[in-house]
């Protein structure tokens, strides 16, 4: 009877393996661990054997640089958090205590402050790279979208962090930005009160901003991991925009990419050290060394430099609600680009018309940044409106239109042919100067 | 390419106009060749000590410095008074302490660990004594003003007894070339020989302004010297490391791109 049952099992049911122990390329203790927790082989496959296009320029080093920035920000933030007091009556003084009495507190705080700025410098170059070389196109759309989510979270974290020293700009910046939510029809005022936890920006607001600053910072770390996993599935794009075909097109990640990225990181750190050690407050605003005073409004409330382009877009729309919508969608619209740009060719190197518009977009970004730092009146308002118009036209009209009418330049068949063409002077690649 | 040049222009424009708002039709600030400027900047000890004297004898009658303690005066990178001198300085002030075992507040001579004693009990008292204006706390004043040390120096030097004819001054308001709006509620604080320097330096208005500005700069950035020293070391370290890494990178990549 029982024998018959067994026969039935082998005939009708598939065998199961509830454990997948084994398969490690390593021996010994490492192999033993790796058979049970495959971290060593993952590291080997994804970082030692991982193949990347051999023609990556230094613009591809920004990803690694951003990772370093994030790690430094988290580490310095941890130390600051041990000394900082998120209370409206103590915050300013506790920051000054860090600057004066905590051993090397001044260094930790200046590093945290300036790494935030340099994080944005790096991320803007990173986004430009994606834009110029079409890194948002098939099959990298999801990675691009994850990147935009990270950018939103970065902005939120930076804004929340800027309120923590509780200086005048902290206080009034928080007031202006949270007040934007009052533009939401019907429930706006309630939302603002809910955000504040009070009827004005105050102690309750500072406390929750501090918590959220931490939460979202670690949220970024989590989503960055998704960004990197996605990268290891779709692989890096490259200046030619052509997918690698054989080993003539690629190098292994270590030691080639690692050594190149390390060099780029050091150059980046060099600029960082110069600013942090010799002009640590250059990128900030002097008013933030005046303790927050709800009774005194600063002459001009300006956000941090990295928000200025979007601040300019916000102010260029006369209606508050529409302004807020324009500001948010000016970033969100980046997410539509993979579906608005219909061209199959990734790299702008082969797209003579699109290339010009991308550069114009970069110019627009800097113009808006300049306008965002100026009073919203007269000529600045006009320039801001033209800049805002171009920003949206670029995505909604120019991207699809150019991709339809543009005649691309002749393209090589592979990355190594691309490199040969480059040597022969047949193609011009992007050079900063 | 024209477009790239334009981009570069605006990039640099952004970089150099970060104080765009405060730059509205303002008088160009007086600039001094401060000893604490530059890559190897250091404070002049004697100037810091004199500056402290100016602060206590002139500024301290209205301006507090809440974030500083007397002990800071003997710390490395500051005025470098000896610990004995700091004890003597601190003991000259009266500090409100308590409550004692009987529940009463009492006054005692200051100790180096005490914060600088404020001239007024609170902001209301300060305003009442100064025609409604609040003399700002000077602990981080230099960092809280666009232009920093140059701005403080300029305001101290910017008083003019004969304001331009189109400027009308109310009672208790003074004309100052460098103040926003050219009006200030602080009477000209520094005059020749306002302070009798104990080291014999001639107390001209320039000298007084320079010394007190130096002191205030140290007060708002007490670790400036340590920062610049560490900065220089880091730069040297990074330069060497960067060259080494570059050579390593070149060597590694020579396997991929043989020289033509």
**Residue from the list A300, A362, A363 with its beta carbon closest to the beta carbon of B21:** A300
Contact residues, B window 76-135, toward A, CB-based 8 Å cutoff: none
B236 close contact with A: CB closer than 8 A? no
Read off the pLDDT band of B3 (50, 70, 90).
confident
Distance of alpha carbon A298 from the chain centroid: 30
pLDDT of residue A316: 95
Q: Mutating which of A107, A113, A278 best tests the B interface, going by the most B Cβ atoms within 10 A?
A: A278
B152-203: pLDDT as tens digits: 999 999 998 888 888 888 888 999 999 888 889 999 999 999 999 989 999 9
Question: Mean pLDDT across the stretch B104-112?
Answer: 95
A243-298: pLDDT as tens digits: 999 989 999 998 999 999 999 999 999 999 999 999 999 999 999 999 999 999 99
- Helices A141-163 and A203-234 cross at an angle (nearest 10°) of 160
Q: How many CB pairs under 8 A join A and B?
A: 117
Please report, in angstroms and rounded to a whole number, the separation of the first and last CA atoms in chain A.
85
Higher pLDDT, A3 or A350: A350
Catalytic (active-site) positions of A: 232, 236, 260-261, 304
Cα separation, B239 vs A287, whole angstroms: 35
- For CA atoms A402, A405, A411, A415, give the dihedral sign: positive
CB A412 within 8 A of CB A242: yes
Cα separation, A31 vs A22, whole angstroms: 9
Contact residues, B window 20-79, toward A, CB-based 8 Å cutoff: 20-22, 39, 67, 72
Cite the DSSP H helix spans in A140-295: 141-163, 168-179, 188-196, 203-234, 258-278
Q: Which residues of B touch A100 (CB under 8 A)?
A: 67, 72, 222-223
Q: How many CB atoms sit inside 10 A of residue A413's CB? A: 9
Q: How many CB atoms sit inside 10 A of residue A162's CB? A: 24
B21 to chain A: closest CA residue: A374
DSSP assignment of A5-16 equals: HHHHHHHHS---
**Residue from the list B3, B14, B227 with its beta carbon closest to the beta carbon of A106:** B227
Contacts of B127 by beta carbon, 8 Å cutoff, 6+ apart: B133, B134
pLDDT of residue A14: 85
Residue matched to tokens 């945290």? A112
Q: Which residues of B touch A362 (CB under 8 A)?
A: 7
ipTM: 0.93
Averaged confidence pLDDT in chain A: 94
A144-190: pLDDT as tens digits: 999 999 999 999 999 999 999 999 999 999 999 999 999 999 999 99
DSSP assignment of B90-156 equals: HHTSEEEE---TTS--EEEE--TTSBPPPSSSSHHHHHHHTTT--PPP-TTTTTTSTTHHHHHHHHH
Q: Mutating which of A57, A96, A100, A261 best tests the B interface, going by the most B Cβ atoms within 10 A?
A: A100
């Amino acid at each position: 009877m029982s024998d018959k049952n067994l026969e039935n099992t082998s005939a009708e049911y598939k065998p199961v393996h509830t454990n997948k122990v084994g398969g490690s390329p390593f021996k010994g203790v490492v192999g033993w661990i790796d058979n049970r927790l495959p971290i060593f082989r993952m590291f080997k496959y994804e970082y030692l054997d991982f193949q990347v296009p051999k023609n990556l320029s230094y613009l591809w080093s920004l990803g690694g640089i951003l990772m370093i920035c994030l790690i430094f920000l988290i580490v310095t933030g941890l130390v600051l958090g041990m000394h900082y007091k998120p209370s409206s009556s103590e915050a300013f003084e506790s920051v000054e205590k860090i600057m004066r009495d905590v051993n090397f507190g001044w260094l930790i705080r200046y590093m945290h402050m300036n790494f935030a700025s340099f994080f944005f410098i790096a991320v803007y170059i990173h986004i430009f790279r994606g834009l110029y070389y079409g890194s948002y196109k098939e099959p990298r759309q999801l990675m691009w979208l994850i990147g935009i989510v990270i950018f939103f979270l970065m902005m939120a974290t930076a804004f929340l962090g800027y309120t923590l020293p509780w200086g005048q700009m902290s206080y009034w910046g928080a007031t202006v930005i949270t007040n934007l939510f009052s533009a939401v029809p019907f429930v706006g005022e309630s939302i603002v009160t809910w955000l504040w936890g009070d009827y004005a920006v105050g102690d309750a607001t500072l406390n929750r901003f501090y918590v959220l600053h931490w939460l979202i910072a670690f949220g970024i770390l989590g989503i960055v991991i998704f960004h990197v996993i996605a990268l290891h599935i779709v692989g890096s794009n490259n200046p030619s925009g052509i997918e690698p075909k054989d080993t003539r097109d690629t190098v292994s990640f270590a030691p080639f990419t690692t050594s190149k990225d390390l060099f780029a990181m050091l150059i980046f750190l060099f600029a960082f050290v110069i600013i942090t050690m010799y002009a640590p407050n250059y990128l900030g605003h002097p008013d933030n060394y005046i303790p927050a005073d709800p009774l005194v409004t600063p002459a001009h409330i300006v956000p941090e430099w990295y928000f200025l382009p979007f601040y300019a877009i916000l102010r260029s729309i006369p209606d508050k609600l529409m302004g807020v919508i324009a500001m948010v969608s000016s970033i969100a619209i980046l997410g539509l680009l993979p579906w608005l740009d219909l061209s199959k060719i990734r790299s702008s190197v082969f797209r003579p018309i699109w290339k010009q518009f991308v550069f114009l977009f970069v110019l627009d970004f800097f113009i808006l940044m300049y306008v965002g730092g100026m009073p919203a009146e007269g000529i600045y308002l006009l320039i801001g409106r033209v800049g805002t118009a171009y920003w949206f036209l670029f995505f909604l009209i120019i991207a699809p239109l150019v991709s339809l009418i543009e005649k691309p330049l002749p393209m090589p068949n592979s990355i190594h042919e691309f490199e040969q063409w480059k040597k022969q002077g047949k193609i011009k690649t992007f050079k900063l100067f | 390419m024209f477009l790239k040049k334009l981009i570069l222009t605006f990039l640099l424009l952004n970089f150099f106009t970060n104080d765009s708002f405060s730059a509205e039709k303002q008088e160009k600030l007086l600039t001094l060749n401060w000893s604490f400027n530059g890559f190897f900047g250091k404070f002049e000890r004697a100037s810091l000590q004199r500056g402290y004297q100016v602060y206590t004898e002139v500024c301290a009658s209205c301006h507090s410095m809440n974030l500083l303690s007397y002990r800071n005066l003997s710390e490395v990178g500051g005025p470098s008074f000896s610990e004995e001198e700091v004890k003597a300085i601190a003991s000259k002030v009266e500090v409100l302490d308590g409550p004692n075992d009987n529940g009463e507040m009492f006054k005692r001579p200051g100790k180096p660990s005490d914060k600088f004693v404020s001239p007024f009990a609170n902001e209301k008292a300060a305003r009442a004594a100064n025609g409604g204006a609040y003399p700002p706390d000077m602990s981080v004043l230099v960092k809280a003003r666009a232009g920093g040390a140059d701005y403080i120096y300029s305001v101290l030097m910017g008083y003019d007894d004969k304001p331009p004819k189109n400027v009308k001054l109310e009672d208790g308001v003074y004309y100052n070339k460098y103040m926003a709006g050219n009006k200030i509620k602080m009477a000209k604080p520094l005059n020749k020989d306002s302070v009798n320097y104990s080291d014999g330096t001639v107390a001209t208005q320039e000298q007084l302004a320079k010394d007190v500005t130096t002191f205030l700069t140290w007060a708002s950035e007490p670790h400036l010297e340590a920062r610049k020293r560490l900065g220089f070391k880091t730069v040297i370290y990074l330069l060497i490391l960067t060259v080494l890494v570059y050579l390593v990178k070149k060597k590694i990549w020579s396997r991929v791109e043989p020289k033509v």
